Structure 1
Amino acid sequence: MQVTVEVVGEETREVEVGDGGTYADVVRAVDLSPHEVSVLVDGAPVPEDQPVESSELKVLRLIKGG
């Protein structure tokens, strides 16, 4: 499944998620750690271990260095 991932305030990328892929897998595919982000589908957070069911999602970084 092709998933459009918007990293809020940074970039939007397309990633491929295999059958049974989780939201944590999507986060890793955009080079982030599931421990430093929240994944939002239709504006609501989803558990990182839940299978991907949406083709569009937002990743909100909770910790940002600088």
Structure 2
Amino acid sequence: MKIEVSIGKERREVEVNEEDSFEDLLISLNLNPEEYIVLVNGKPVPVEEKIREGEIKILKVVSGG
């Protein structure tokens, strides 16, 4: 299935398998799952969750001291 993903300000259309998780999606985009958070319809989802349709945004986690 094709999904549209926002990564920061960039939008991409990505082909994924229905059984793929958001972690699989991040890895396919060469993004480290430890460094990014996935939002679906504005709510964070566990990366282990299977991909579902909705407004998907990927944000880089920023931390500092």
Question: Normalized against structure 2, the TM-score is what?
Answer: 0.83
Name 1:41's counterpart in structure 2: 40
Aligned partner letter, 2:28:
A
The superposition leaves residues 10-55 of structure 1 with CA deviations (integer Å, 9 ceiling, x where unpaired) of x111111112100111112222111100000011000000001115
Aligned partner letter, 1:23:
F
Unaligned runs of 5+ in 1: none
Question: Normalized against structure 1, the TM-score is what?
Answer: 0.82
The answer to whether the 8 A contact 1:5-1:57 is kept is yes
* Structure with the largest fraction of helix: 1
What's the C-alpha RMSD, in Å, of the aligned pairs?
Answer: 1.3
Larger Rg over CA atoms: 2
DSSP 3-state at the match of 1:24: helix
| Cα distance in structure 2, aligned partners of 1:45 and 1:55 | 12
| Cα distance in structure 2, aligned partners of 1:42 and 1:52 | 13
What number of residue pairs does the alignment pair up? 62
Alignment of 1:5-44 (within 5 A): 5-9=5-9, 11-44=10-43
Unaligned runs of 5+ in 2: none
